[in-house]
Structure 1
Amino acid sequence: MAVKAGNSKKLLPVAEAHRAALTLGVREVTRRLNASLGGTLVSSLAGASDTKASHKWVKESGPQPRPEAVKRLNFAYEQWQRVAAAEGEHVARVWFIGASPWLDYDTPVNAIREDRLAEVSAAVQALVDDTFSG
């Protein structure tokens, strides 16, 4: 499976987004998500009750996120990479916070927080492939 990138229609393998999340480490993944989505949204999608948690996670001396938060953060980064490669960063940000017809009009941020990862992945694939038939 591949993802088209921007207007050039260059293809980015989905597996590449997965590898990037795993090789960067959770602190760097969180830093990049914070830069793209903002710390409050990143903390929320990770399932943290503290809205500043994601800012603490990026510090070398900061706490490590719990394993379930790490899973959500890595997953969110993978999906961010896929959407941004296909549609651009501005569209990716709007997609993460907007009501999605692929998720019964819930937001991807909420769906990730609720561990509906398979649904979010399918929604990203439908967006990338332009295959929504709602």
Structure 2
Amino acid sequence: MSPTTPGLRAYEISIRSDVAELVGQLRELLGAQLVAYLGSVTETRAVRQWAEGVRKPPAEATRRLRLAYQVAGLLAERDQPPVVQAWFQGMNPQLEDSAPARLLREGNPDEVGPRVLAAARAFAAVG
């Protein structure tokens, strides 16, 4: 992989960032409500606390948030945050008309992760 591989930088950030930094960056890209949804919490206060490092999300939520950042970061290489947010929430024909955010929240990351990433790469390629 070369340094210009689409999504490589987002992947590196998703792996190397501590949880607070990752959540803060994800909140900037997706907004606090969508991050809360992806993290399976009902209040954006939890997202703020995660971003401030006051508390940590559960391990499974952290795994999903890292994956969500990888996808969001890849999309943000070409599009502005409102487009990235819309992509996460919209029905996606490459994902059997499911919203990527819903798949990431409800599905097994090992199963849905590659599908969501492939759909994001396809969207970024035509963007």
Question: What range is the shorter-chain TM-score in?
Answer: 0.7 to 0.9
For this pair of structures, how many residues does the alignment match? Answer: 122
- 2:52 is aligned with 1:56: no
Q: CA deviation at 1:23?
A: 2.1
Q: Report the Cα distance in structure 2 between the residues aligned to 1:54 and 1:117, rounded to whole angstroms.
A: 22
TM-score relative to the length of structure 2:
0.81
Report % sequence identity: 29
What is aligned with 1:40? 33
Rg: which structure is higher? Answer: 1
Opposite residue 109 of structure 1, the aligned amino acid is A
RMSD between superposed Cα atoms in Å: 2.2
Q: Report which of the two has the higher share of strand.
A: 1
CA deviation map 1:64-109 (0-9, x unaligned): 1111111111111111111111333332121112121112222111
User: Superposition pairs for residues 1-134 of structure 1, below 5 Å?
Assistant: 11-60=4-53, 62-115=54-107, 116-130=112-126
For 1:19 and 1:128, how far apart are their aligned partners in 2? 18
TM-score (norm 1): 0.78
Tell me if the contact between 2:22 and 2:66 (Cα under 8 Å) persists in the aligned partners.
yes
Larger mean Cα displacement after TM superposition, 14-23 or 64-73: 14-23
Query: What secondary structure is seen at the aligned counterpart in 2 of 1:33?
Result: helix
Structure 1 residue ranges without an equivalent (≥5): 3-10
* Structure ranking higher in helix proportion: 2
* Structure 2 residue identity aligned to 1:99: M
Q: Tell me which amino acid in the other structure corresponds to 1:127.
A: F
